Structure 1
Amino acid sequence: MEAEKNTTSNNNAVNVPRLEPTEKDQNSQKRDDIDARIARIDFRCSGCYMHELVHYFGREPPFALGIRYKEDNYVLRDPFQPPPQAGRPVPEYYISMGSKCSSCLKIVCKSSGCSFYYTATFCVPCGKSKLKDWPVDAQTRFRKQLSANQSD
């Protein structure tokens, strides 16, 4: 009797069609993964006019696990890193390209010739105008950055 049950269940298993992803589903999944890796957000620095397409604008890039910026940033996935394996959330390398000046809202890159960070990002012209309002330590760092950029 037990032998009959085993053969019956084996026969039913053969007759039940397996739900396998179709080729169309697999191609769609691959396209979604590829699309997520295509940079589509335009980043153009108002200081040096560097232009790049980036993957993310905001405070928590989904591909940089555990990272939360204090302000919105333009973030680029590392273009030299291979894509992570599908289905495994792993932190990826990334490059923070820049952000908006907290005073005039112009987009600036992280280059020392274009921006300065003190509690928020400032473009160099706004940094010069706000300099007197900052603590002496921040003023010293900003002046040092300016003099290093002038000697280049």
Structure 2
Amino acid sequence: MACELEHGPPGVFECQLCSLTAPYSYIGQKPPDTESVILLEESYIMKDPFTANKDRFLVLGSRCSLCSRLVCVGPECSLFYSKRFCLPCVQENIDAFPREIQQDLEKRKVPAKKPVNKPRP
């Protein structure tokens, strides 16, 4: 089976919503050094820096299936529901998602609206 490294050389992943940056080593659905892992989406992958195991990896993010924005897997930036969707696209198309997803997004709004702690003058 051919390796999917032809998608391009390693580089730096940057979320277009939160600006998270991290070096990636692979883009695709079948991470290197894994026997039976096939991801459901083409993802930006990095080797897990917290372990020496070659078969361990972290999924950094993917492209939004609607707008093609590069987004991280963080709950503030995207969700996966059969495909990856950035939260702005989810909000624009909220009625197209099942009620469970809509309720989950309502729960997410509460922590996201907390004011940022800024030093007082």
Query: Is it true that 1:141 corresponds to 2:94 in the alignment?
Result: no
Distance 1:148 1:64 in 2: 36
The one of the two structures with greater contact order (alpha-carbon pairs below 8 A, sep at least 6) is: 2
Match of 1:72 in 2: 42
Gaps of 5+ in 2: 1-8, 116-121
Q: Sequence identity of aligned pairs in percent?
A: 27
Tell me the distance in 1 between the aligned counterparts of 2:108 and 2:84: 14
Deviations 1:86-121 (A, max 9, x none): xxxxxx211111111111001100111111222211
Q: Under a length normalisation based on structure 1, what TM-score does the superposition of the two structures give?
A: 0.64
SS of 2:113's equivalent? helix
Larger radius of gyration: 1
With normalisation by structure 2, the TM-score equals: 0.79
Give the length in aligned residue pairs.
107
CA RMSD for the aligned pairs? 1.8
Equivalent-residue separation in structure 2 for 1:135 and 1:82 (angstroms):
40
How far apart, CA to CA, are the structure 2 residues paired with 1:136 and 1:99? 24
Given that 1:64 and 1:94 are in contact with CA atoms closer than 8 Å, whether structure 2 keeps it comes out as no
**Structure that is richer in strand per residue:** 2
| Gapped regions of structure 1 (runs ≥ 5) | 1-38, 85-91
